Chain A
Amino acid sequence: ETGVTQSPTHLIKTRGQQVTLRCSSQSGHNTVSWYQQALGQGPQFIFQYYREEENGRGNFPPRFSGLQFPNYSSELNVNALELDDSALYLCASSSGTSEPYEQYFGPGTRLTVT
């Protein structure tokens, strides 16, 4: 059983550019959530996808968008990058949206915006 994987590991972008981050969920999981973890902070919920549909969104602007594919892998897209977007982006998968549930996190993608 493979765990949650994310790519790339590190990324450096320039302000105003666009970025796509990728996540492969754990086998058997149909729900993917994305989080942003700024330095010294806890992960902040961006949005969740369940069976290819957005199923909840945190307090992030529309330039943060996502996709989930039929194999339940997922992408996070960020347009018009700002310096404050520099953070660790975490993807987590789970087997459902009803509680209680446990989310299994990937190692994250470290994004630096200059």
Chain B
Amino acid sequence: DQQVKQNSPSLSVQEGRISILNCDYTNSMFDYFLWYKKYPAEGPTFLISISSIKDKNEDGRFTVFLNKSAKHLSLHIVPSQPGDSAVYFCAASAGKLIFGTGTRLQVFP
């Protein structure tokens, strides 16, 4: 039973455009959500987080939106850059981190 789902295994976006990565969850008890980025041969790197009491958090080019009624969150990257090409994991916190399966983002020139 997967509590955190990333239904798009991959996404390809042109440099300068917006990248939107999506994540759905099933457990309404999650109180914190995080996004991690992972490059090959490296561990995941923390990117941005949002508390369940908020609906938006912004950090530079990265914005996370939370829709609690839909149990859905999204990560917006704008403008996208080639260096953003990586696997992005959504994670939810309920005492421990529960990760989605990841979305591979490719930003092409």
Binding site for B on A (CB under 8 A): 4, 33, 35, 40-45, 48, 56, 58, 90, 92, 99-100, 102-108
Contacts and interface: CB of A to CB of B under 8 A. Distances in A.
B49 A105 contact: no
Dominant secondary structure of chain A at its interface with chain B: loop
Of listed B36, B93, B95, B96, residue having the most chain A CB within 10 A = B96
Contacts of B34: 102
Contacts of B6: 42
B97 A33 contact: yes
Given A33-B97, A43-B99, A90 B31 contact: no
Contact of B43 (A4, A40, A48, A102): A4
A102 B34 CA distance: 9
Nearest to B44: A105
B41 interface: yes
Contact of A100 (B44, B51, B91, B102): B51
Given A100-B32, A100-B51, A105-B44, A43 B89 contact: yes
B43 A45 contact: no
A102 B89 CA distance: 14
A102 B46 contact: yes
Given A35-B97, A100-B51, 5 more contacts: A45-B97, A100-B93, A103-B97, A107-B41, A107-B42
Contacts of B49: 100, 102
Contact of B96 (A48, A102, A108): A48
A100 B45 CA distance: 16
